[in-house]
Amino acid sequence: MRSKLQRIFTKGGVLSPGELKQIIKMAESLGFSTIKFGSRQDILFPYNPANKEIIEQYPNLNIDSSAKRNFQNIVCSYVSADIFPSTPWLKGSTYLYILEEFKYNPTLKINITDPKQQLVPLFSGQINFIASENEDYWHLNLKLPNWESEVEYPVLIYSWDIPKIAAAIEEFYEETTDINLLFNLINEKIETNNRTIEHKLEVPFHPFPYYEGMNKMSDNDYWLGLYWRNNEYDLSFLKDFCEFCLDSNVGKICITPWKSFIIKGLHRNHKLSLEKLLGKRGINVRHSSLELNWHLPVDDTEALELKKFIVRNFDQNDISTYGLNFGVSDSALKDTYFTSTVIEKNQSPTIIKDFKIRPTYNVLYCKNFNPNTREYLMYAQDVDKMELPGLLMELSKLYFENLGKEDEIKSNNELEHKPEKEVYQCTECLTVYDTDFGDKKANIAPGTTFNELPLDYSCSVCESSKNTYKLVTI
């Protein structure tokens, strides 16, 4: 079970070194030695009602005091501006101007993103503004609560209208589930500088980038990405890092949705000082790309251990996953996915809650391995943890085989190397009896058919009788 976490909102994941120093000071006052980063570019720390008095001493920090998620952090791709491919007219300053105009805390998830980059997901919000080819105009994708499906707003949105359009959507979306009526309600409420959509939004596949280490921006400037494997960012290091940024005229620190952070515009004259700071602290800035392309739920040690297990197998087999990314999720939580491949943990049947059994997983992947399609295909279902590395390596090979092809990649049901197989399955706990493997625990030898099992045979997990099994195809 995940612990309850409290959030500090950082609009678009952008904050100054001075603001981060304030957060560090508060966290130290609360007795913490680390902080975490969240999927929506926010900052997280353990929730404790007793901390309220100390938190109130920092009114300048935008903190979710209830930890009930009444409000949401705004996500934006400012972090990728100037360092990854971008829409030509969209500069870092544009994001900052737009973010500054948000004078309220949104209750809906808002994304403001560039479709040319892959670091920040485009459609993980409920209100998604996506840059168009027309200068200062944005497509708007809506996935609103209680609406049956996502819809496209009928016009392009002007950059400086984004905050008031978002506020108007929050005001009216519960009154209707019709996009045209919502559009009319908004136009009656506010004046906007809309533009006709000339071309439908198309988001081509872009490989997932390597976002860590010291990298050149120009002849004189660098950017640095830092990543902690366990998402536990040491406050004493962050404090020294903030001082370095202030001394080096680095004005912004950017949090990514991948629980890492980036600084941009580091002049080459300060590069050596930063390398010495990182070296003295023993900070590794060259993790394998096998490590960096994972999205895990915050404060979930089981998911972290699963990732370590799979990455070790990847490393031992010396494979490449460049351009792919992976997520771990719990099927009961109904998370929004934004990785090209998802490992989904199944819930154990309630009938066997008193038995300790190994969890099973589903493996899903996006159509054409492009997360922005939002269309996930089932690759494998109800598999054991030990099978996951092999399945994911198969998927990575499939990805490279089809890389660059425009045709839709075949789903798993069409792949010749994944034939169907008939087995018997316990209807109480879903344990499978496979003739090829037998049942070692019950001293049943491999090759023993189900009909050859003794009449008193019972499930090795929940001890249900033989007649509770049924023939299924996997």
In a domain, 167, yes or no: no
Q: Report the CATH number that the domain containing residue 304 is assigned in CATH.
A: 3.30.413
The CATH number linked to 427 is 2.20.28.10
CB atoms near residue 163 (< 10 Å): 20
End-to-end CA distance of the chain: 30
**140 belongs to a structural domain:** no
Q: How many CA atoms lie within 13 A of 194 on its CB side?
A: 18
| Same-domain pairing of 217 and 349 | no
Same domain, 407 and 437: no
The confidence score (pLDDT) of residue 441 equals 81
Tokens of 378: 């089932």
Query: Do 255 and 341 sit in the same domain of this protein?
Result: no
Q: How far is the C-alpha of 225 from the C-alpha of 241, rounded, in Å?
A: 13
* Residue 42 belongs to some domain of the structure: yes
d(CA 167, CA 263): 30
pLDDT for 419 equals 57
| Contact status, residue 24 vs residue 242, Cβ threshold 8 Å | yes
The answer to whether residues 311 and 359 belong to one domain is yes
Q: Do 207 and 344 sit in the same domain of this protein?
A: no
- Of 239, 258, 287, the position where a domain reaches its end is 287
Q: Are residues 258 and 364 in the same domain?
A: no
Residues 115 and 241 in one domain: yes
Considering 287, 307, 338, which residue would you say is the last residue of a domain? 287
* Residue 341 within any structural domain of the chain: yes
Does 192 map to a domain?
Answer: no
Structural domain that includes position 45: 1-122+203-287
Q: Which of 226, 254, 287 is the last residue of a domain?
A: 287
Asked if 256 and 347 sit in the same domain, the reply is: no
In a domain, 136, yes or no: no
Q: Both 96 and 213 in a single domain?
A: yes
**105 and 219 part of one domain:** yes
How far apart are the C-alpha atoms of 378 and 341, rounded to whole Å?
10
Global pTM reads 0.81
pLDDT for residue 410: 42
CATH number of the structural domain spanning residue 14: 3.90.480.10
pLDDT in tens, the chain (474 residues): 456 888 999 999 999 999 999 999 999 999 999 999 999 999 999 888 888 889 989 989 998 876 667 899 999 999 999 999 999 999 999 999 999 999 999 999 999 999 999 999 999 999 999 999 999 999 999 999 989 899 999 999 999 999 999 999 999 999 999 999 999 999 999 999 999 999 899 888 888 999 999 999 988 999 999 999 889 999 999 999 999 999 999 999 999 999 999 999 999 999 999 999 999 998 988 888 889 999 999 888 899 999 999 999 999 888 889 889 999 998 666 667 889 999 999 877 655 556 667 889 999 999 989 999 889 999 999 999 999 999 999 999 999 988 876 544 444 444 444 456 788 888 877 788 888 888 888 888 888 998 889 988 988 877 888 888 888 876
- The pLDDT assigned to 1 comes to 44
Please provide the size of the chain in residues: 474
365, 427: one domain? no
- Same structural domain for residues 282 and 295? no
* Domain count for the chain: 3
Cβ contacts of 60-64, under 8 Å, gap ≥ 24: 60/22, 61/8, 61/19, 61/22, 61/23, 61/26, 62/8, 62/9, 62/10, 62/105, 63/6, 63/7, 63/8, 63/9, 64/6, 64/7, 64/8, 64/9
pLDDT at 472: 81
Residue 164 lies in a domain: no
pLDDT given at position 407: 44
| Residue in the structure block whose two tokens are 């049956």 | 148
* 362 located within any domain: yes
